[in-house]
Amino acid sequence: MTKIDTSRPETVLPTPSHTVGPFYGHALPFPGGGDIAPIGHPDTIALQGYVHDGEGNPLPDAFVELWGPDPGGNLSQVDGSMRRDPASGGFLGRNGVEFTGWGRIQTDAGGHWTARTLRPGARGQSAPYISVCVFARGLLVHLFTRIYLPGDEAALAADPLLSRVAPERRGTLIAREERADTYRFDIRLQGEGETVFLEFQ
Amino acid sequence: MTLTQHDIDQEIAAEHAAYEKRVADGAPVEHQPRRDYAPYRSSVLRHPKQPPIAIDVTKDPELVELSSPAFGERDITEIDNDLTKQHNGEPIGERITVSGRLLDRDGRPIRGQLIEIWQANSAGRYAHQREQHDAPLDPNFTGVGRTLTDDSGFYEFTTIQPGPYPWRQHVNAWRPAHIHFSLFGTAFTQRLVTQMYFPSDPLFPYDPIIQSVTDDAARQRLVATYDHSLSVPEFSMGYHWDIVLDGPNATWIEEGR
């Protein structure tokens, strides 16, 4: 069953998703996972937030992946997010100069995550945003959402996704500015204030 | 009330019957689990109740989600895909070779992309500090591997057959032996985390996690095939497992779908 004959397209069917479970912590997170911005870059922003369940409890066993363009709206094709040390087998961390655009951050014991990345530039018809993918124990299929930044109301109003979301839920996709260049973005998997999640077709 | 395997069995059967009825009534085949699958109790408070907002990727080729982060030789080491060589000594257990291809929905190979795996040791114990199962740790086995797919989309890992393990959701709850896989495609929309199982595991009917995939054919796609040609003489048993990433990618735009 799991040898796929690509000459028979009807047999090419998707592999189902499964939860990450509770025990990925020694495998997937890596040092500097959230330090996406090159060191000293003037367009650096900080992001932080909590991941909550349907009763409002923070998730200590979730992780988020962020994927976004540089301030010019360009998507990186540079590797090296999890650079390794061939001598020890350990992690060297990012080199602090190149921008890979991608990061992976596990929530801490309080359900809190943080990242430093570059302010995304606009692409296509959309207002600038960072794509987010959420994984957790108990989540059978990961969830996609987006972090939009406040400020340019005209761009947000014209965004093809935001303009389709009910006004009372729209705010779940827009980070809140806490101080200059620092933003708060909470993710609520269920219930009051449930984050808007996306499905790509 | 103590939650028993019998309780969970009945819930699994009810979910399966409900799915069969939906399909019989004309609903589409479900290749993916529903996020709301109560026999797996951890899903109850962790699934959205609002429907997702659908995004038609063919409307805008510039969507961030239509490209993927890149990984390369700097992100792995030479022995990352051999989980039996990461310590000074040999791990305990049956050595296995797991190999297959990473494909998109059109059967095209996904080249040079990152595959990450993690698993329990041969006794069914993860090298994770919060693991409570009192089976022995193996000082020569961490159970973490990485590789990049080759130009035909192939990957290969050498590892140890993982053991089944109890997980306390209900009395006598046991997970069938499995290897966790994390996968990237050519588009972030194709991101996948899943688990690979081994043929004919007697625990399949009792496990609400594999049964969360209610479609019988889709569930079979999580089970590797024993492949004698992959078995390495005097060394390891071979398993073949091809992976097909769901989700649209940029080629869908070129083809005007």
What integer pLDDT is reported at residue B257 of this predicted model?
56
User: How many separate domains does chain A show?
Assistant: 1
Residue A201 maps to a domain: no
Contact at CB, B75 and A4, closer than 8 angstroms: no
Pairing state between β A44-52 and B237-240: unpaired
Residue A39 lies in a domain: yes
Give the one of A84, A89, A194 whose C-beta lies nearest to B49's C-beta: A194
What is the reported pLDDT for B42? 97
Cα-to-chain-centroid distance, residue B126: 16
Phi-psi region of A148 (alpha: psi -120 to 50; beta: other; left: phi over 0): beta
Domain that holds residue A49: 25-188
| Average pLDDT value for residue range A187-201 | 97
The structure tokens listed for A195 are: 């984050």
CA angle at B186 for the pair B114 and A83, rounded to the nearest 5° = 35
Buried b (16+ CB within 10 A) or exposed e, A120-154: bebbeebbbbbbbbbbbbbbbbbbbbbbbbeeeee
Q: Which residue has the tokens 């998730």?
A: A59
**Total residues belonging to chain A:** 201
Q: Is A124 a domain residue?
A: yes
Which of B233, B160, B151, B214 lies closest to B22 in space, CA to CA? B214
Does residue B150 fall inside a structural domain? yes
Mean per-residue pLDDT, B108-126: 97
**Is the residue at B208 inside a domain?**
yes
Mean pLDDT of B231-254: 90
Q: pLDDT by residue (tens digit) across A13-53?
A: 999 999 999 999 999 999 999 999 999 999 999 999 999 99
The answer to whether residues B143 and B96 touch, using CB atoms and an 8 Å cutoff, is no
| Alpha-helical segments (H) within chain A | 153-158, 167-170
Cross-chain residue pair A3–B240, CB shorter than 8 Å = yes
Let me know if residue B136 belongs to a domain. yes
Rounded Cα distance between A190 and A173, Å, is: 15
Angle at B168 between CA B166 and CA B174, to 5 degrees: 30
Is B141 domain-assigned? yes
| Domain range for B187 | 5-48+65-244
B194, part of any domain: yes
* CATH code for position A103: 2.60.130.10
Q: Tell me the pLDDT band of B255, cut-offs 50, 70 and 90.
A: low
Does B53 sit within 8 Å of A19, measured CB to CB?
Answer: no
Mean pLDDT score, B244-251: 87
Three-class SS of residue B239?
strand
Written as six digits, the tokens of B57 are 């990727």
Per mean pLDDT, which range of B134-138, B186-190, B205-209, B248-252 is the poorest? B248-252
State the Cα–Cα distance between residues B224 and B220, nearest whole angstrom: 8
C-alpha span between B125 and B155 (Å, rounded): 25
Across the interface, whether the CB atoms of A18 and B33 are under 8 A apart is answered yes
In a domain, A164, yes or no: yes
Strand partners, B159: B96
- Whether B197 has a pLDDT exceeding 80, the answer reads yes
In a domain? residue B218: yes
The helix or strand, by DSSP H or E, that contains position B15, with its residue range, turns out to be helix B5-24
pLDDT at residue B108 is higher than 70: yes
**Active site includes B226?**
no
pLDDT at B253: 62
pLDDT digits (tens, 9 = 90+) for B13-25: 999 999 999 999 9
Tokens describing residue B71: 């990984």
User: Which entry of B95, B146, B170, B178 is annotated as an active-site residue?
Assistant: B178
A105 inside 8 A of chain B by CB: no
Residue-wise pLDDT tens digits, A57-110: 999 999 999 999 999 999 999 999 999 999 999 999 999 999 999 999 999 999
Q: What is the pLDDT of residues B132-154, one digit of tens each?
A: 889 999 999 999 999 999 999 99
The verdict on residue B90 lying in a domain is yes
With a CB cutoff of 8 Å and minimum separation 6, the contacts of A32 are A91, A93, A94
Residue A17 belongs to a domain: no
Please name the member of A3, A15, A189 whose beta carbon is closest to the beta carbon of B46: A189
Q: In this structure, is residue A79 part of a structural domain?
A: yes
Tokens linked to B110? 């996904």
| Mean pLDDT confidence for B92-106 | 97
Active-site annotation holder among B19, B37, B165, B239: B165
Residue B127 domain flag: yes
Q: Give A51 to chain B, closest Cα distance, Å.
A: 10
- A5 assigned to some structural domain: no
Domain presence at residue A157: yes
Residue B129 confidence class, pLDDT cut points 50, 70, 90: confident
Domain count, chain B: 1
The domain spanning residue B179 has which CATH number? 2.60.130.10
Measured between alpha carbons, how far is B245 from B104 in angstroms, rounded to an integer? 5
What pLDDT does A9 receive?
86
Question: What DSSP designation does B204 have?
Answer: G
Q: Name residues 119-138 of chain A within 8 A of B (Cβ).
A: 120, 123-126, 129-131, 133, 135-138
Which tens digit of pLDDT belongs to each residue from A131-182?
Answer: 999 999 999 999 999 999 999 999 999 999 999 999 999 999 999 999 999 9
